[in-house]
């Protein structure tokens, strides 16, 4: 193994795998049914039932490298655990390791004041509340975050917030109590990267209105509670600003590195599980006198999937190692590379699995449609492929400038 697991991680993984077998997989069908019947505005009882069990077993907040608040694992150590969780849409929240809460908790742990941590981080770490992150806006191309137009205006001891956001994951969840909001405090600043700030907005503050859930490829709630939210003259104490005015980009960079790698780790788990489904289905169906698995085209796709998953895993472990050793900022190219490679790999593997399942692959019976939606949305969320590719290319070209 290129990156051998520590004894501690192997022990946790063992317990995690056993929890998945005993509690997660047997409850998946019920979870999907709840999501379908209850919709995006409700809490799903299966999740709430399993959370205390996971917590009791110490399978809780494993994502947080900060040992004061979380498990204190490195990114590399967390990678194989996160991959296991990614095998099921139900798992990440059961272990209090789901996006965007994980990224928001990291922000509060790193940049929040003692007061922010007491009021918001504590209940998030306890899994009592949820959170959202509001950056993207319907009116502007938000993959370029300097375009964000929402305003955060100082007024005495308060800030007044106005803006319309969409794709604010989690906002329809009744447990969602806190929003990390990005907007402009200094629109005239000649440095476009210092115009933006981030501020904490309680979801029950007057003027916050969750307008609608947004379906993701027709799904509501799972795999994503995407939402549209409007903020009209929302007033919050000035102390709710994170780090200070003009530091929104700095926080976004700190937040997005771990968030992106966690998405990739989970997708590798999802792709592994999908390949398993592909193989089982292809081996169990006979067409034109032989099992589908004996058609060379199927074998080719299975082999290609295995190669692609292994490549993606190694690239992701390499990025995790870089984040642990040189820091998120220096590891930005490694992070950008996995953010392109892994969702594209997962889309392809899931697409082949859908094909191998025949018509049934397009139903919700095999979990492949929700898996595809997850992989595909991640070619956009946390930055579209093109933006990451541009960044990788710029880094590459820099090697040859002035030479």
Applying CB under 6 A, the residues found at the interface with ligand FAD are 100, 133-136, 141-143, 167-169, 216, 224, 226, 377, 380-384, 386-387, 390
**Minimum distance, C-beta of residue 278 to ligand FAD, in the bound complex (Å):** 25
**Minimum distance, C-beta of residue 101 to ligand FAD, in the bound complex (Å):** 10
Q: What are phi and psi of 182, to 5 degrees?
A: -110, 135
Candidates 107, 113, 86; CA nearest to 97 is 86
**Minimum distance, C-beta of residue 182 to ligand FAD, in the bound complex (Å):** 7
Q: Which is nearer to ligand FAD, 142 or 305 (CB)?
A: 142
Q: How far apart are CA 179 and CA 336, in angstroms?
A: 26
**Minimum distance, C-beta of residue 394 to ligand FAD, in the bound complex (Å):** 11
Q: Which is nearer to ligand FAD, 136 or 298 (CB)?
A: 136
**Minimum distance, C-beta of residue 214 to ligand FAD, in the bound complex (Å):** 8
Q: Which is nearer to ligand FAD, 163 or 305 (CB)?
A: 163
Q: Which is nearer to ligand FAD, 84 or 216 (CB)?
A: 216
Contact, 217 vs 373, CB < 8 A?
yes
Cα 227 off chain centre by = 15
Candidates 91, 56, 63; CA nearest to 77 is 63
| Residues in the chain, total | 403
The CA distances from residue 139 to 198, 200, 382, in Å, are: 19, 22, 18
Token pair listed for 326: 């040189």
Q: Which is nearer to ligand FAD, 143 or 299 (CB)?
A: 143
Q: Which is nearer to ligand FAD, 111 or 133 (CB)?
A: 133
Q: How far apart are CA 260 and CA 135, in angstroms?
A: 16
**Minimum distance, C-beta of residue 218 to ligand FAD, in the bound complex (Å):** 12
Which DSSP string do the residues of 269-336 spell out, in sequence order?
HHHHHHHHHHHHHHHH-EETTEEGGGSHHHHHHHHHHHHHHHHHHHHHHHHHHHHHHH-TTTTHHHHH
């Amino acid at each position: 193994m290129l990156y051998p697991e520590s004894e501690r991680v192997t022990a946790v993984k063992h317990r995690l795998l056993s929890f998945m077998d005993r509690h997660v997989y047997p409850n998946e069908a019920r979870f999907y049914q709840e999501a379908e019947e209850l919709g995006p505005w409700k809490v799903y009882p299966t999740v709430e039932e399993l959370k205390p069990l996971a917590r009791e077993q110490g399978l809780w907040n494993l994502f947080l490298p900060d040992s004061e608040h979380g498990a204190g694992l490195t990114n590399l150590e967390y990678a194989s655990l996160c991959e296991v969780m990614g095998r099921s849409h139900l798992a990440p929240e059961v272990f209090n390791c789901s996006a965007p809460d994980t990224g928001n908790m990291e922000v509060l742990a790193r940049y929040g004041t003692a007061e922010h941590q007491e009021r918001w981080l504590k209940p998030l770490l306890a899994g009592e509340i949820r959170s959202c992150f509001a950056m993207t806006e319907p009116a502007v191309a938000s993959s370029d975050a300097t375009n964000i137009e929402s305003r955060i205006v100082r007024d005495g001891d308060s800030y007044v917030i106005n803006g319309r956001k969409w794709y604010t994951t989690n906002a329809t969840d009744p447990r969602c109590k806190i929003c990390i909001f990005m907007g402009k405090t200094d629109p005239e600043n000649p440095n476009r990267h210092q115009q933006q700030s981030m501020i904490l907005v309680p979801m029950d503050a007057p003027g916050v209105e969750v307008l609608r859930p947004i379906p993701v490829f027709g799904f509501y709630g799972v795999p994503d509670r995407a939402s549209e939210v409007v903020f009209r003259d929302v007033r919050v104490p000035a102390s709710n600003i994170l780090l200070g005015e003009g530091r929104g980009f700095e926080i976004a960079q700190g937040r997005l590195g771990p968030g992106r790698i966690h998405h990739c780790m989970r997708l590798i788990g999802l792709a592994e599980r999908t390949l398993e489904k592909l193989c089982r289905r292809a081996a169990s169906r006979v067409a034109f006198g032989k099992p589908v698995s004996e058609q060379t085209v199927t074998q080719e796709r299975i082999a290609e999937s295995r190669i692609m998953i292994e490549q993606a895993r190694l690239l992701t472990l390499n990025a995790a190692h870089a984040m642990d050793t040189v820091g998120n900022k220096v590891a930005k190219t490694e992070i950008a590379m996995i953010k392109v490679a892994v969702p594209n790999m997962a889309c392809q593997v899931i697409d082949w699995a859908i094909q191998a399942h025949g018509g049934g692959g397009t139903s919700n019976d095999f979990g492949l449609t929700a898996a595809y939606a997850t992989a595909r949305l991640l070619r956009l969320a946390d930055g579209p492929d093109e933006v990451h590719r541009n960044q990788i290319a710029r880094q590459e070209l820099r090697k040859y400038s002035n030479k």
